[in-house]
Amino acid sequence: MEALNSLEQWDDFVAGRYDPTKKTEDFRKFDDSAPAGVREFYRLNHAHQTRDFVLAKKRQYGARTRGEMGIWEALDYLNTLVDDSDPDTDLSQIEHVLQTAEAIRKDGHPRWMVLAGLIHDLGKVLCLYGEPQWAVVGDTFPVGCAWSDKIVFPEFFAQNPDSAVPQYQTRLGIYEEGCGLRNVDVSWGHDEYLYHVVKDYLPDEALYMVRYHSCYPWHREGQYSYLLDGHDRAMLPWVQKFNPYDLYSKSAERPKLSEVKPYYDELIAEYFPAKIAW
Ligand code: FE
Ligand code: FE
């Protein structure tokens, strides 16, 4: 059995961990009381996300050799990711991304941000390719340099083979001061994968939302400022603007797909060709 009963269990954990009403000092306590599945998930994630693993996955999936799919096709495919263990079977993946997108749309944000909401979790199709959960979801973090102690469950990094590589354990590691996040390898998951799939089609602000929405150590905890360049700093507010829609649109009214589909058909066609390479 996998560590988490469902991907939604992880989403719920993240939403609870980053609850705006929760004081920072409560985070550690919350980690201690985290469900066993969440702890086990992060134990695996932190033990296995080495720099070599990240580079290998970028080579494997960055080439986009898994065939062509349109955005709706990918959404339908992601929706086949159903959890037997989840009592709320109606709350599918497609519902989460639709609620995220609709909440962004209602607040009058730019069209590309609505689209980012719609597609942001499509990288979770990695699960359907057979990747383990720890290589698909979870907070992401830079590899190849010292781990921030603000990363959730930092104690689990002791089991990561990179902890024995002195070059990776300094503040800058293999990087140069201010090199920019684009030159930094971040732990592998649905964010990074989808970035490679959509990078030719969306404005940079949307690409940052896609690529770094799980990078809580950066966008929430303010870590790794020494790796950032001016462009990262300019994009950060957009990633932060996106985050509450991802976390807290869940209880919002349920959008009816048939009603909103024409809007999204037009929006998708504005930015994407009929099919893109995955
Ligand atoms: Fe996500
Ligand atoms: Fe999400």
Segment 118-145 mean pLDDT: 96
170 Cα–ligand 2 center, Å? 32
Residue 183 CA to residue 144 CA, distance in Å, equals 11
pLDDT at residue 102 is higher than 90? yes
Please provide the DSSP assignment of 133-189 as one string: GGGTSS---B-SSPPPTTSSSGGGGGGSGGGG-GGGSSSSTTS-TT--GGGS-B--S
pLDDT at 87: 42
How remote is the CA of residue 8 from the centroid of ligand 2, in Å?
9
Within-domain flag for 133: yes
Q: Judge whether 58 lies within some domain.
A: yes
User: Which residue range forms the structural domain that includes residue 40?
Assistant: 7-277
Decide if 203 is inside a domain.
yes
Q: With respect to residue 72, please indicate whether it lies within any of the assigned structural domains.
A: yes
Q: Would you say residue 2 lies in a domain?
A: no
Number of domains in the chain: 1
From residue 15, how far is each of 18, 112, 174, 248, 270 by CA, in Å? Answer: 5, 24, 32, 7, 31
On the question of pLDDT at 77 being above 70, the answer is yes
Q: Is 253 left (phi over 0), alpha (psi -120 to 50) or beta?
A: beta
Q: Mean pLDDT, the chain, as a whole number?
A: 90
Distance from the CA of 177 to the center of ligand 2, in angstroms? 31
Chain-centroid distance, C-alpha 259: 28
Would 1 be classed as within a structural domain? no
Give the lowest-confidence range in 87-91, 184-188, 216-220, 248-252.
Answer: 87-91
Ligand 1 centre distance from Cα of residue 37 (Å): 18
